């Protein structure tokens, strides 16, 4: 396995790097910012320039150059405006799915959000366009021939990892540290039974390995 982390400089992406290093899983950090690339390379982290706003042909070249056979999409506009949210979280995500299928990359893990499948909650969230983007990106992913897993963590915190979660059929409330989200992604990559599945989870009482399996 060689994982391309798209959005490797985000909070979850950086923690995922730590997890993959601990598991000795090969990966490439997908980054858009040249300063971030230099900083990661200074830590001996393999990097790949990728711009999700670029034409799909350029994205294809970037993903192909990474040599990855697995993609984790954890990129996001991060509150930079609704136009960019649609361009990154929806259009950018879909372009990577199309490229993955073109290149024969099968495994694809999407970091989504709670309520992405529940439009009744979008308006009250105050970030309705973000949920629209995540909803349709998830829906498109399910329609592909990719071996996908979509993770829907509860409210994210920066607390230390707990290592235990509860998997819910739908989001019923609760939070989870970003560090545990990284652990869930890593475990999903190592667990074939998560293919074609959505995983909704919050901090709970079952260890992550057992819960994901």
- Catalytic residues, by residue number, are 130
pLDDT, position 129: 87
pTM over 0.85? The answer is yes
Long-range Cβ pairs for the range 131-139 (8 Å, 24+): 132/86, 132/90, 133/85, 133/86, 133/89, 133/90, 133/93, 134/89, 134/90, 136/90, 137/89, 137/90, 137/93, 137/94, 137/110, 137/112, 138/110, 138/112, 138/198
Predicted confidence (pLDDT) per residue in 141-197, tens digit: 999 999 999 999 999 999 999 999 999 988 888 999 999 999 999 999 999 999 999
Predicted confidence (pLDDT) per residue in 92-121, tens digit: 999 999 999 999 999 999 999 988 888 888
């Amino acid at each position: 396995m060689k994982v391309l982390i798209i959005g490797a400089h985000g909070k979850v992406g950086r923690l995922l790097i730590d997890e993959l290093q601990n598991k000795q899983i090969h990966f490439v950090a997908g980054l858009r910012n040249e300063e971030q690339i230099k900083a990661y390379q200074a830590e001996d982290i393999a990097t790949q320039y990728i711009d999700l706003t670029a034409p799909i042909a350029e994205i294809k070249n970037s993903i192909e150059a990474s040599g990855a056979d697995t993609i984790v999409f954890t990129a996001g506009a991060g509150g930079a405006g609704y136009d960019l949210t649609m361009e990154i979280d929806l259009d950018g995500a879909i372009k990577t799915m199309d490229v993955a299928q073109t290149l024969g990359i099968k495994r694809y893990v999407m970091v989504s959000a709670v309520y992405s499948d529940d439009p009744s909650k979008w308006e009250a969230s105050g970030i309705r366009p973000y949920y629209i983007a995540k909803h349709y990106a998830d829906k498109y992913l399910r329609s592909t021939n990719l071996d996908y897993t979509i993770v829907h963590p509860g409210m994210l915190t920066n607390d230390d990892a707990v290592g235990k979660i509860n998997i819910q059929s739908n989001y019923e409330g609760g939070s989870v540290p970003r560090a545990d989200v990284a652990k869930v992604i890593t475990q999903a990559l190592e667990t074939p039974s998560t293919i074609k599945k959505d995983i909704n989870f919050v901090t709970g009482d079952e260890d992550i390995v057992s819960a994901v399996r």
